[in-house]
Structure 1
Amino acid sequence: MKRRYLAYLALVFCWVLQGCQFSKSDVSTLDKVLKRGILRVGTTGDYPPFTYLNDQLAYEGIDIELAHNLAATLDAEIQFVPTTWATLLEDLQDDKFDIAMGGISKKLVRQQVGLFSVGYHLGGKTPIAKCEDTIRYNSLEKIDQVGVRIIVNFGGTNQDFIKKNIKKATVQIHDDNTTIFQQLANGKADVMITDVAEVLFQSKKNPKLCAAMPGELLDKFQMGYLMPRDLIWKAYVDEWIAHQMLENKIEKIFSAHLD
């Protein structure tokens, strides 16, 4: 019953705002998922606490739990499709998944290719370093100095932030986001700038690492879910997010992973 109600709201939303007229050859992603009984979720698996591949090669994280919740409303099985930050938009255009989930920042360059859901988390970039070095890197001015080694993962918004804001420091591109924080802990780099949720997660996981600017952000952005250009499907996902928020499920999942 709840599934039908959400689908109905999605259709009404689309008809009122756009007069969406889908031909038989242009069926909504929502209808495709309902028909096949499988929800294909693209995820990088390298961005805890949102998405990561554990030692048993199973996906875990905040957005992995939420993906299962979304699939349940559709009475669908879930199929996780590996993607990368560098190929995310290409994979979306190639119809490799129905929705991308996993700490994805809402950026206009991504909106040019697909559609974002409403935001479900307000994030921002902040630095993380070895605990004994946090005073040395507690501002962007201190970080962007000759001799400072900044490590960053390839192809995502962390790298975009570095390109825009770092002019003097040495930038080290690290291809494997699953080992990047160990590089930092081992002294192979001095500082990393990433989302505040990842900083909180990694500082709890590794006692050598601490937030360099606790409680402060270098920028702000919303996270959302990336989908094909399909307003019916977007409307369904937006309504599902609204239900998750009303029932405090998103807040509880965040707390479980970060507290």
Structure 2
Amino acid sequence: MGQLDGKTALVTGATAGIGLATARRLAAEGATVFVTGRRKDVLDAAVAQIGPNAVGVQADVADLDALDRVFDAVRERGQGLDVLFANAGGGEFAALEDITWEHYATTFNTNVGGTIFTVQKALPLLNRGASVIVTSSNIDVKGSPSFSVYAATKAALRSFTRSWAAELVGRGIRVNAIAPGPIGTPGLRGLAADEAGADALLDGLASGVPMARLGEPDEIADAVLFLAGKGSSFVTGSEIYVDGGASQI
């Protein structure tokens, strides 16, 4: 018996890293997992990795029409939605003097707008007792040179988590945030211009973690599973930091 047998979940941004690891974990626990990604070939490969409990829907969360297609697919299954992991997002380095309108708009439209409208469009499908989990970041309580726009989006998501938890508590729906620290994902390596730069970036980030290493995507998946399941039934409006102590000690 899995922890999520008979449940339906949606994981956005599930083709790599944290999203893929979490989708695999939720599926392994018995959930039917709808997963999204922007590129069909990469999405198909992720669905194959996740297994027979996965349903792929090609979508960019910053595209409202694409989000409608995602929730149409969930609606057609007829079981509602028990777990929503609003995970899709990203960012790039830009020092204050180099921030452009495009950089600002793209980052906010994806990380903030995409999350807002993912949760909003899920509302009619969320079953009583459903769990909504938002991917924030431990950077939401820290200053980070050249990453200020990304950090601001994550601080916004932390605030939305509290407000949505207050709005939805009457429906028995819990809303929480997960705040990863530096996690060894393709997206993190992709922040650097080349492989040598990526190695230096990851080494530098690991050195700032009290546990002296990067986290693994599966470690975030474990925390998401906790928030998705009965073990967190009295937890809402909270943020769980999974960052090796980087924001706490």
Do Structure 1 and Structure 2 share a fold, with TM-score over 0.5?
A: no
Q: Which has the higher strand share?
A: 1
Asked which structure has the greater CA Rg, the reply is 1
The TM-score normalised by the length of structure 2 is 0.30
TM-score by length of 1: 0.30
Query: Which structure has greater helix proportion?
Result: 2
